């Protein structure tokens, strides 16, 4: 298998790792890509970015009230 972040994964496709990556494990290498997109266009003065490990994505919430989401204009 392949070691990633101290955890052993079997050969083949890994749909989702603990750190929100999709990987392909072969005898030669392990290749991964992220399942999340980083918000870049939002109100940086009044909002903050929080990683949501459950949904494997970033939430953009109000600094004054984190229970309220902010509008995100673009992600990369």
Residue ranges covered by each domain of the chain = 2-34, 39-75
**pLDDT-above-90 percentage for the chain:** 95
- Return the H-helix or E-strand segment holding 59: strand 57-62
**pLDDT tens digits, 19-41:** 999 999 999 999 999 999 999 99
Chain position carrying tokens 């600094």: 63
Pick the closest to residue 55 from 33, 31, 35 (CA basis). Answer: 35
Gap between the Cα atoms of 30 and 13, Å rounded: 10
Write the class of the CATH domain 39-75.
mainly beta
Q: Indicate the pTM of the whole model.
A: 0.76
- Counting every residue written for the chain, the total comes to 76
Buried b (16+ CB within 10 A) or exposed e, 42-59: beeeebeeeeeeeebbbb
């Amino acid at each position: 298998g392949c070691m990633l972040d101290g955890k052993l994964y079997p050969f083949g496709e890994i749909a989702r790792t603990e750190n929100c990556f999709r990987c392909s494990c072969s005898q030669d290498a392990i290749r991964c890509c992220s399942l999340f997109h980083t918000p870049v266009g939002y109100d940086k003065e009044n909002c903050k970015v929080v990683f949501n490990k459950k949904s494997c994505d970033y939430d953009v919430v109000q600094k004054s009230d984190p229970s309220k989401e902010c509008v995100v204009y673009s992600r990369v």
